[in-house]
Amino acid sequence: MSNTAPGKDRRDPKRFDRRKSTNVSSHLELLSKMSGHLAVTLNIEETIQKALDLIVQFVKAEGGALFLLNDKDDSLVCKASAGPVDIRGISLQAGEGIVGQCVSENSSRIVRDVQQDPNFDHSVDDSTGFQTRSILCTPMTVHTEKIGAIELVNKHDDSSLFSDMDLLMLQTLASAAALAIHNAHMAEDLVEQERFSRELELATEMQRSLLPASRPAPFPVCGINLPAHEMSGDFYDFFELNDGRICFSLGDVSGKGMDAALLMSKTSSLFRCLGKTLHEPDVLLATINRELCETAIHGMFVTMACGLLDPATGEVQLANTGHEPPLLHARDGSFTPIPASAPPLGIMPLVAGNDGIRKETFNLDGGTLYIFSDGVTEGDLQDGSRLGIEGFKKIIRECIDIPVAERFAAIISVLGNAEGKRHDDITLIAIDATNPCLNENIRDNQGAMIVRHTFPARADELQAVREVVSKACDDCGCSPSMATDIVIAVGEACQNVVRHAYKGIAEGTATLEIVCKDGIIQFNLQDSAPPVDPEKMKPKWPKELGPGGLGICLIHDIMDEVEYLPVHSGQGNLLRMVKFIERTN
């Protein structure tokens, strides 16, 4: 038919033009109809069925099938079928049949009359009773990516066979369908990724909830855990026993993936549960080991140090299974490591006592005991070297005069390679009976009142910070309206740390120090985030509506003095804000 048509057209050019233009316009109409239909659905099954139905309808075929390429084994599976015989589910090997050849050669095929084609395989016709006369087939690709193929069977009109025009049409429609399928694939991937991220967020939240809440002074144990990725393979925990002693632990699971995170959850739960009844660190570790070995996961183990502190006497009992030696920093400045007496947990049976897990007993005597994961000592520094145990000791020595939580901040601030990335989880706890860690409220030797509040730089911590500020303003004798203003200003400063300084990369901590003396109230807000440019922190009132920089403007409006000071550890930011107090009386 296609051989005779051009002849007729040559005789009557007008008719040819009209027919061509009718074809083109209805073709465009179909394309736009198809895009419209396909745009509304991002469901892949629906998309391919709709695409095939429209194409079959427009090309006036008796039936059709849409095959998608299976990435795994390069087979072609029929995913949509139109016409008298439903062939969904049938699968062709790469290169098999007309469809397989089209895809592997990436070229279209027209078999005008199958009866004349020796390669035609009659088996499907024989089994279904369907009679194939004419076949069109074209591959679907997006850019260079092969997606599958569309095959049409028999022109609807019994007498006619497929023409070149039909093939051209199919090719155009197939590329639109390919794009729609590609988009639907992407949408499905996106939804799947979104679902996965949501689950990961829930898991992260769940895991963080296993860590103990920080306790106000004079509680002598505090800790920090910064996962390198969403989930952590490290953990720490502490809780009080009825006799006033405090049970504490820090563990590090081998590996860094989700499996490590799950084993971490299991181990920390065992510690919390068994630790309440077994008040001997060596016996406790031996019992946890037995549980872990019973349900051992091949090749995974846990290094762990755990102990008991008697805050009344400063006496500590400590047991260590395979963990990097905790360091006792004594009052005289010396460091004593407490090495492991047994291999990590989860590998082999271990007993408590001299033949297995030994318990060391010593007195803090005004010193501090640090337990840390290897993410600290093996952590990368900006210059490409590692912190190492000596680097750790150096920072501790330099920070001896500042509260424990700020020492943590100083250590964390140096960890991270040139891109600011960390490859391992960082976990640290400190046990210090004489220098409680958090939220101090003390008077210095000049009689100034000092409040210190260290908090994780997270949006959900800001309310607690505002409460601390509000109370301090009250205690310093600020008028209620001034206190309201100060809360606004300090709230904005803390918000900036949460939003901008850490940029959501890692969860850092910040420390707010409030000093009240001689008619002024001063706020020192320190973080360990990369330094900000103080020039950028100057107030610029927006000319028109626009909330950018509003927080900084509020701070400058409310406070009498605002300045960024250099930080002694060289990293992080220190914002000093001063307000002259008008007293209520």
Partner 1 sequence: MKHEISEKQGATVVAFTGEVDLESSPVAREILLKCLESTSKVIVDLSEVTYIDSSGVASLVEALQAAKKNGSQFSLAAVSEPTRRVLELARLDKVFTLYDSVDEGLNA
Query: For binding to partner 1 (CB under 8 A), which residues are involved?
Result: 459-460, 462-463, 466, 484-485, 487-488, 491-492, 495, 498-499, 541, 545-547, 550-551, 553-554, 557-558
Strands 91-92 and 449-456, how do they pair?
unpaired
Question: How far is Cα 435 from Cα 400, in angstroms, rounded to an integer?
Answer: 10
Dihedrals phi, psi of 528, to nearest 5 degrees: -115, 30
Do 426 and 375 form a contact (C-beta atoms < 8 A)?
yes
Question: How far is Cα 67 from Cα 79, in angstroms, rounded to an integer?
Answer: 6
Tabulate helix, strand, coil % of the chain (nearest 5).
Answer: 40, 25, 35
Question: How far is Cα 379 from Cα 121, in angstroms, rounded to an integer?
Answer: 65
Do 523 and 493 form a contact (C-beta atoms < 8 A)?
yes
Strands of 268-363 (E only): list them: 302-310, 315-321, 327-329, 335-337, 359-363
Looking at 241-308, list the stretches that DSSP marks H as alpha helix, in order from N- to C-terminal side: 258-274, 281-294
Nearest CA to 372 among 410, 408, 336?
A: 408
Question: What is the length of the chain?
Answer: 585
Looking at 106-163, list the stretches that DSSP marks H as alpha helix, in order from N- to C-terminal side: 123-128
Sheet of 246-253, strand order: 234-240, 246-253, 302-310, 315-321, 359-363
Nearest CA to 68 among 133, 130, 145, 128?
A: 145
CA 346 to centroid of chain Cα atoms: 28
Do 248 and 221 form a contact (C-beta atoms < 8 A)?
yes
Q: DSSP class of residue 43? A: -
Do 172 and 31 form a contact (C-beta atoms < 8 A)?
yes
Nearest CA to 237 among 227, 226, 246?
A: 246
Dihedrals phi, psi of 245, to nearest 5 degrees: -75, 160
- The total of other beta-carbon atoms located within 10 Å of residue 526's CB is 25
